[in-house]
A and B are shown apart, each in its own frame.
Chain A
Amino acid sequence: MDTCLVKLDKVYKYDVKTPYDLEIHEKDCILVSGDNGKGKTTLTKLILGYINPDRGFVYKKPMKIGYLPEHIEFPLFMKVNRYIDLLSKIKEMTDYETLVYQFKLPLFKSIYQLSHGNRQKLGILSACMGHPELIIFDEPLAALDQEGRMQFYQLIEYLKTKNHTILMITHFPDMLKPLCNKHITL
């Protein structure tokens, strides 16, 4: 049986009405969707340990988590290739070319020159770097065009072949549903 990475046991937050009951096992691909204000981002923050639950318990295996926040910020005056290089050194990852190739990013531009969509792609790329045991994407499809969404779809397929555990939060579940083995609607 696959190892349980995260378990949320009747976890309550005062601003979210329904409790969270969730288990994330290795190689899971989980999709979380729901209306605005239902607590999707709160769920990721509970998993990441950024906030504490008001009631209930969060069990988490100590691990590296790749995280794409809803609003990602970058060092704007750094070139894309320099940023990827630096991040790969810090995260001790050398085989990142496939990921870079997948998104066709303009490597020699400064980050402030990138469009919103390209910044999102860079954020997705950074979250996947370093072979994290769990990858959390918070609204990965926001700001991506049709081609970008297809590239993201292919990336998830590729990550699944590499046995990554993935949690995605999105307002567009129909597109990503075929890839996931669990779908949670909040």
Chain B
Amino acid sequence: MIHLIFSYWMTKQKMLIYLISIGIVILWVVSLFQLDQSTYDQIMYHDDFMFQYKHLSLEYLNLMMPLLIVMMVMHHESNSLQPLYAFFGKSKVTFYKMLSYVFFILWTQALLIVFIYCLPYLMTSYYLVSLDFLFALVLVFNQNLIVMNLVFMFIHIKYQNFAIIFAVLAIIYHMLIQDKFRLLLFYLCPFYHENMLQYKYHIVYQILYIILGFIIAYNKMVKTQIS
């Protein structure tokens, strides 16, 4: 059923937007490799190169991913699933619909991790595999699931284009907390911040926050009337 639901919402236009966005992210990441620098320089100043690469790639993901996710998820409440609701029941179809979006986001994340985390290992001399960087990537990607939950919860079929507001808010929020990290703000909305890397248990909070978001969004979607 996940496959069928996926083919309902992944239209040709969305696929095009998706491929272009992923292509841009990959091109951007490759441009951060600094392949024009000599191998000796890369080895000698590997800390600087590494810091720059990590910082810029995470910043770029913070800006790009909410937009991409919102564009993919914004039409989640379409009428195309009505025959399936009638046959299987709304709760079952809604559950599989949410799963289709989660699998899609996890797939995108896995793809980008290959490019961002693994590719520089093969192509540069300064890159050292660091678990902290992987941890930061996972935190950044988890915030996409939070954005997705917000769209699920608040965006109704009548005003689905307003979903783009959540992408803009996510970007503004990220810019606001970049310089002034407040733990309270993190508890309200656990988006990525580099200070979070000091507190490993924050990922548990983030995951529980996402699960709670899913439960609320699921209940809301099951109870919403279909006009």
User: Which residues of A come within 8 Å of B, CB atoms?
Assistant: 45, 48-52, 64-69, 71-78, 86-87, 90-91, 123, 126-127, 130, 132, 136
Contacts and interface: CB of A to CB of B under 8 A. Distances in A.
Interface string B1-42: 101100110011000000000000000000000000000000
A44 to B, nearest CB: 9
Interface stretch (B50-58, B79-87, B187-195): B79-87
B79 A69 contact: yes
Contacts of A67: 82-83, 86-87
Contacts of B226: 45, 50-51
B85 A73 contact: no
- Which has the most chain B C-beta neighbours within 10 Å: A72, A75, A126? A75
A48 B85 contact: yes
Contacts, number: 59
Contact of A76 (B12, B78, B225): B12
A186 B61 CA distance: 56
Given A76-B11, A77-B12, A127 B83 contact: yes
Interface in B85-129: 85-88, 90
Contacts of A136: 86
Contact of A50 (B12, B85, B88): B85
B225 A50 contact: yes
A64 B3 CA distance: 21
Q: Which 4 A-B pairs have the closest CB atoms?
A: A67-B86, A75-B7, A73-B80, A50-B226
Nearest to A127: B83
A87 B4 CA distance: 8
